[in-house]
């Protein structure tokens, strides 16, 4: 293989594993391990452990759990919150392992970039789910979850078979994330402000009277008699 093509393929695999981990870690591990075990791809030495039957069993089981948790409104947000501490470190480790035995410096660099990429894809997924869960109907949540599963499988397949195309699509994804994340943050902030007002209104409706305004307090205070003018004697009784 041409050295340049090999470098591009390694970068695509490294960044593809990190990107997919931020969305669905267990699907990414199971797909890479399954393809490596059946000879569809040659995994780097540090990732060959993914093809172990025990790893495949664990990742397949956890993918089934996530498949249902990810499609339940409310549960998916809690699941994403917990997996903030799992997907991002795992994405960094997979990215570093995909580089192989090039050099320790290359592995550290790949881990840093891969961890950042896993963070970006994870925050985009988690933030989008919070906004979608504001809708009372569950169908949007289901379609979004299935779309994420398909995107992970298709993205990894593209990274393995068409690395240049994957890197172009990944660049477009990062541009989309840079545009989308600030808007997601503002939407989530407005959502929590609305929830705060709603819960505040519920407490007041339950009997807790709102605190009096400043004008009301001023009207309740005793009034002082007007001061006598200078040079004027007080009226006789």
Position with higher pLDDT, 134 vs 228: 134
DSSP code, position 133: T
Asked if the model's pLDDT at residue 47 lies above 60, the reply is yes
Asked if the model's pLDDT at residue 231 lies above 70, the reply is no
Over residues 160-171, the mean pLDDT reads 96
Q: List the domain boundaries for the chain.
A: 3-201
Asked if the model's pLDDT at residue 150 lies above 60, the reply is yes
Over residues 186-191, the mean pLDDT reads 82
Q: What is the pLDDT of residue 163?
A: 96
Over residues 160-183, the mean pLDDT reads 95
Q: If you average pLDDT over every residue of the chain, what do you get?
A: 86
Distance between CA atoms of residues 166 and 159, nearest Å: 5
When mean pLDDT is compared across 131-135, 187-191, 217-221, 232-236, the lowest value belongs to 217-221
Residues whose CB is less than 8 angstroms from the CB of residue 158 and which lie 6 or more positions away in sequence, other chains included: 16, 165, 166, 169
Integer CA distances (angstroms), 209 to 149, 204, 214, 217, in order: 49, 6, 15, 15
Position with higher pLDDT, 196 vs 70: 70
Over residues 144-160, the mean pLDDT reads 95
Distance between CA atoms of residues 15 and 168, nearest Å: 12
| Strands of 85-225, DSSP E | none
Q: What is the pLDDT of residue 30?
A: 97
């Amino acid at each position: 293989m041409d050295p340049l093509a090999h470098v591009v393929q390694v970068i695509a695999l490294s960044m593809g594993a990190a990107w997919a981990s931020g969305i669905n870690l267990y699907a990414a591990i199971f797909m890479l391990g399954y393809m490596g075990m059946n000879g569809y791809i040659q995994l780097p030495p540090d990732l060959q452990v993914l093809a172990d039957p025990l790893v495949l069993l664990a990742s397949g089981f956890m993918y089934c759990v996530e498949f249902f948790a990810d499609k339940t409104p409310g549960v998916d947000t809690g699941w994403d919150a917990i997996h903030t501490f799992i997907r991002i470190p795992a994405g960094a480790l997979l990215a570093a392992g995909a580089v192989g035995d090039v050099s320790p410096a290359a592995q550290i660099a790949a881990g840093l970039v891969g961890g950042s990429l896993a963070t970006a894809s994870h925050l985009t997924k988690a933030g989008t789910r919070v906004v979608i869960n504001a809708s009372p109907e569950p169908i949007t949540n289901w379609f979004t979850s299935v779309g994420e599963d398909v995107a992970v499988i298709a993205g990894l397949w593209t990274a393995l078979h068409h690395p240049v195309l994957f890197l172009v699509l990944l660049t477009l994804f990062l541009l989309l994330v840079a545009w989308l994340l600030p808007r997601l943050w503002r939407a989530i902030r407005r959502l929590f402000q609305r929830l705060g007002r709603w819960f505040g209104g519920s407490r007041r409706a339950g009997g807790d009277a709102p605190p009096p305004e400043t004008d009301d307090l001023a009207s309740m205070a005793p009034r002082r008699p007007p001061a006598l003018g200078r040079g004027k004697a007080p009226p006789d009784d």
